[in-house]
């Protein structure tokens, strides 16, 4: 099964973001992410066997909890850049999210659980560019923020219509005060 850890967005925020990015849908050469799939990936584990789940669960449960849970969704960005975008995204700012990702990744390493070790860049992918976009015009984006209390182990089922995400397990991030 294909797995990753992520923070989910509240449903109403997914809708607001979707409404804000609809002017971009005029670009045909982009595979847009379905709004129900908006999330912030903390660590992509890739293909794992059912028997590895207990070890993955232990690693996630032992992640030190964080105090700050505010996430700010700031503005548009692109990998590698806005002049020749391959991936369109929304920039994310969150010290708590950075700490959570760092702690989770460290626990995965300590538990010998392989994952994609590319540097963590907090972002919300909104589209994957399939054909070159000439003169990309980005609408004004109204920054948003929300607090998160959990992160999830998510199973990704690939289909011709796009991925289907299924939350397998939830983990609390906040210290009990």
The tens digit of pLDDT for each residue in 112-156 reads 999 999 999 999 999 999 998 888 889 889 999 999 999 999 999
**pLDDT of res. 175:** 57
**pLDDT of res. 68:** 79
Q: Per residue in 75-101, pLDDT tens?
A: 999 999 988 999 999 999 999 999 999
* Tokens at 158, concatenated: 């690939």
Tell me, what CATH number does 54's domain have?
Answer: 3.90.1140.10
Helix ranges restricted to H, 1-143: 11-21, 53-61, 95-110
Average pLDDT in the 2-23 region?
A: 96
Q: Catalytic amino acids?
A: 39, 123
| Reported pTM | 0.93
* Residue span of the structural domain in which 72 resides: 2-172
Of all residues in the chain, the percent with pLDDT exceeding 90 is 84
Ramachandran assignment for 139, one of left (phi > 0), alpha (psi -120 to 50 degrees), beta (any other): beta
Q: Per residue in 126-136, pLDDT tens?
A: 999 999 888 88
CA 168/CA 148 separation, integer angstroms: 18
Q: Please give the tally of structural domains in the chain.
A: 1
In a domain, 177, yes or no: no
**pLDDT of res. 134:** 82
């Amino acid at each position: 099964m294909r797995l990753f850890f992520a923070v989910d967005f509240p449903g109403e925020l997914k809708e607001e973001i979707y409404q804000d990015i609809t002017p971009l849908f005029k670009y045909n050469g982009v595979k847009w992410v379905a709004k129900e799939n908006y999330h912030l990936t903390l660590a992509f584990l890739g293909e794992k066997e059912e028997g590895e789940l207990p070890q993955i669960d232990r690693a996630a449960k032992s992640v030190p909890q964080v105090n700050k849970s505010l996430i700010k969704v700031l503005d548009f960005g692109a990998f590698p850049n806005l002049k020749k975008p391959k991936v369109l995204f929304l920039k994310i700012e969150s010290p708590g999210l950075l700490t959570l990702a760092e702690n989770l990744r460290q626990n995965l390493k300590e538990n010998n659980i392989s994952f994609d070790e590319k540097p963590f860049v907090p972002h919300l992918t909104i589209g994957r560019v399939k054909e070159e976009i000439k003169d990309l015009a980005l609408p004004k984006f109204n920054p948003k923020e929300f607090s998160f209390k959990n992160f999830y182990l998510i199973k990704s089922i690939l289909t011709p219509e796009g991925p289907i995400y299924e939350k397998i397990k939830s983990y609390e991030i906040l210290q009990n005060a």
